[in-house]
Amino acid sequence: MAVRRFGGVMGPMVTPFRADESLDLEGFAFNVRAHMAAGLDGVLVAGSTGEAALLSDDERRTLTEVARDAVPRERTLLVGTGAESTRHCVARCRAAASSGADAVLVVAPHYYSSSMTPPALRAHYLRVADESPVPVLLYNIPKYAHFRLEPELIAELSMHENIRGMKDSAGEMAYFARYIESQSEKVDVMTGHGGTFATALSLGARGGILAVALFAAVLALEVFHAHRDQRPADAEAAQEPLVPMAGEIVARMGVP
């Protein structure tokens, strides 16, 4: 079986709700199909844009199953499984795998942030990687975790056979360049920052998991394809309108 690679342009799905706060599964499925029709290479369920912190485990499982029905097998279904305890994270990884996820995206525990030392994070991620039935991607998002995953830790964790990549949503290019140093034939580094997508690609990123791609897929895909085809001027031209979109709609206005 060919080893799945992680790249291209993916969309971190929003989670629509009905007035009674139940999941709008019909709307969710419609959105997944629309993102597939727009040409995205995959979707992420239960990420930050999907309001993962507010979802129950049953809701995560249901959303994953609905997405799996709409995402072709040749494209990628990622599921966010981060949790505040290692055992809960492992349980979410197993549930995601049984519901059809191709891989999981794991944000670090962060409620007790002062205790999240490099040894604690190392132990957490190594156990998750050991016990997850599907590949693990690390998730760096200081905006919500209130600390970053250091490049040295990423380099060490990337040696594990089941840790297959990472998503960096910070958009700090000096750090991103150091994350790229851990990239290999096995490990794919992706950005989650739409405002610096073209720059991340120029530094070596294999793609992006971008909220801005949910409503500007044509532009996000053009940035990626132009970079791939060595058309830097076209990549920059497509990137230019993405910057205010990512800053105003994604960052300032947020999920709603």
Closest CA to 106 of 132, 137, 131, 130: 137
pTM of the model as a whole: 0.97
Backbone angles phi, psi at 58, to 5 degrees: -65, -40
Residue with tokens 């199909």: 33
Q: What angle do CA 22, 26, 31 make, to 5 degrees?
A: 110
Three-state DSSP at 208 gives strand
Contact 82, 47 (CB under 8 A): no
Contact 219, 238 (CB under 8 A): yes
Closest CA to 76 of 167, 14, 10, 164: 10
Tokens of 224: 């990626």
CA gap 89, 109 in Å, rounded? 9
Which of 35, 61, 167, 193 is an active site residue?
A: 167
Contact 90, 132 (CB under 8 A): yes
Across 116-244, where does the E strand assignment appear? 136-140, 163-168, 188-191, 207-209
User: pLDDT by residue for the chain (256 residues), tens digit each?
Assistant: 567 899 999 999 999 999 999 999 999 999 999 999 999 999 999 999 999 999 999 999 999 999 999 999 999 999 999 999 999 999 999 999 999 999 999 999 999 999 999 999 999 999 999 999 999 999 999 999 999 999 999 999 999 999 999 999 999 999 999 999 999 999 999 999 999 999 999 999 999 999 999 999 999 999 999 999 999 999 999 999 999 999 999 999 999 8
Residue 72: alpha-carbon gap to chain centroid: 18
Closest CA to 195 of 178, 216, 175: 216
Is 143 a known active-site residue? no
Burial of 73 (0-12, 13-18, 19+ CB in 10 A): exposed
